[in-house]
Amino acid sequence: MSDHVVLHVKGRVLVGPEEVRDELWAVDGRITYERPRDLEAVTVDGWALPGLVDAHCHVGLDRHGAVDAATSEKQAVTDRDAGTLLIRDAGSAADTRWIDDRDDLPKIIRAGRHIARTRRYIRNYAHEIEPGDLVAYVAREARRGDGWVKLVGDWIDREAGDLTACWPRGEVEAAIAEAHRLGARVTAHCFAEDSLRDLVEAGIDCIEHATGLTEDTIPLFAERGVAIVPTLVNIATFPRLAAGGEAKFPRWSAHMRALHSRRYDTVRSAYDAGIPVFVGTDAGGSLAHGLVAAEVEELVKAGIPPVEALSATTWGARAWLGRPALQEGAPADLVVYDSDPRADVRVLAGPRRVILNGRVIG
């Protein structure tokens, strides 16, 4: 970016849920609240938020596995144009490091490639291994990722005809301890109930989907501070998945319908217990990209207060991931809307302007 590129954002700048300023400037891609002297600025008006966060998104992946760079770019652009400027890529078989060199694409925090039990996940997605190799593969992905590792905690067991846990307790404990030793946090895909206690007691940091939370495990999550990313726009597909598998796996099908039917109650109970909840869409497998606004709306439908649902994709999510929001000196990544998104989160579906690294992208 050239020297002395100045952007003036004025109206209402939502620095935090309760902290509102009238204006900010972006100088050479960085935020400042001090008016630059003797520099002409381009002005943008509206309600400004930190760039939205999708904390469960798969750039470089489709339903068949890894995709090429051109497809990955289209996915990232779709997310960017919807206001998502920070992505936690919760598992991808593709190498997307080249995106880091592009100042017009969202910033990505990678969890490396999924680690799954042999023949217990979607084909071409994961390292498929047996428990004895779990520690080694976790160490490998911890070194390759950006501070996260992704496990597949449960999946359909064709012999049982239902969801079952993938890993023995001892191997999970050792693997999570190794990730933490290497400075990485661990998350896991979990739909069912039975996989959760072992993972949490083993020290896991986050659970994706978490549809299997119950009154027995919710207090444990709250006590340990384990976050969840519910991906409700993905859970909405459970009835279709259940219908497709009903003839062959009736127990699994009934289980998936039950998890779906109580999804809103599960998320609300988790929030009420004090479990940290963050926005994630699960885009990039079978789901389209650009669904972050729809996921925020789903959290509100579940009973999370609008400002808290907004924080789950802005201030709170960025703090959880260790990335700045709209602080002095932070990268100027923000989204501008026509009205106050705290009053109606549906505003998120129509950004007026998307600003990335101090440049108006759209």
Q: What is the pLDDT of residues 155-203, one digit of tens each?
A: 999 999 999 999 999 999 999 999 999 999 999 999 999 999 999 999 9
Residue with token string 């109970």 = 269
Q: State which amino acid sits at residue 85.
A: L
pLDDT in tens, 134-163: 999 999 999 999 999 999 999 999 999 999
Structure tokens at 186: 């661990």
> Which pair of structure tokens corresponds to residue 175?
């693997």
Integer Cα distance of 282 and 150 in angstroms:
13
Helices within the chain (DSSP H only):
69-81, 134-144, 169-181, 196-201, 218-224, 232-235, 238-245, 250-261, 263-272, 292-301, 306-311, 315-321
Write out pLDDT tens, residues 254-305: 999 999 999 999 999 999 999 999 999 999 988 999 999 999 999 999 999 9
Mean pLDDT of 326-333: 98
Which pair of tokens denotes residue 328?
């002095």
pLDDT level of residue 344 (50, 70, 90 thresholds): very high
Q: Where exactly does CATH 2.30.40.10 map onto the chain?
A: 6-49+324-360
Return d(Cα 293, Cα 277) in angstroms, integer. Answer: 15
In whole angstroms, what is the distance from residue 2 CA to residue 5 CA? 6
Helix H or strand E encompassing 26: strand 20-27
Listed residue (304, 289, 317) closest to 80, CA to CA: 289
Q: How confident is the model at residue 226 (pLDDT cuts 50, 70, 90)?
A: very high
Residue 285 three-state SS: coil
DSSP3 helix / strand / coil % (the chain, rounded to 5): 35, 25, 40
User: pTM for this one?
Assistant: 0.97
> How far apart are alpha carbons 273 and 278 in whole angstroms?
15
Closest CA to 330 of 315, 352, 309: 315
3-class DSSP assignment, residue 218: helix
pLDDT of residue 362 exceeding 80, the answer is no
Instruction: Find how far residue 348's CA is from the centre of its chain.
Output: 16
**Structural tokens at position 299:** 């959290």
Class of domain 6-49+324-360: mainly beta
Predicted local distance difference test score (pLDDT) of residue 2: 43
When the candidates are 3.40.50.450, 3.20.20.140, 3.10.20.30, 3.40.50.2300, the CATH number that belongs to 51-321 is: 3.20.20.140
Percentage of the chain exceeding pLDDT 90: 96
The single-letter code of the amino acid at 263 is R
Q: What is the torsional sign of CA 308, 312, 316, 320?
A: positive
Q: Specify the domain boundaries for CATH 3.20.20.140 within the chain.
A: 51-321
In DSSP terms, 148 is beta-bridged to 185
Closest CA to 337 of 329, 326, 348: 348
Residue 40: band (very low, low, confident or very high) from pLDDT cuts 50, 70, 90: confident
Question: 82, 85, 113: which is closest to 233 by C-alpha?
Answer: 82
Are the CB atoms for 333 and 361 separated by under 8 Å? Answer: no
- CA–CA distance, 263 with 236 (Å, rounded to integer): 9
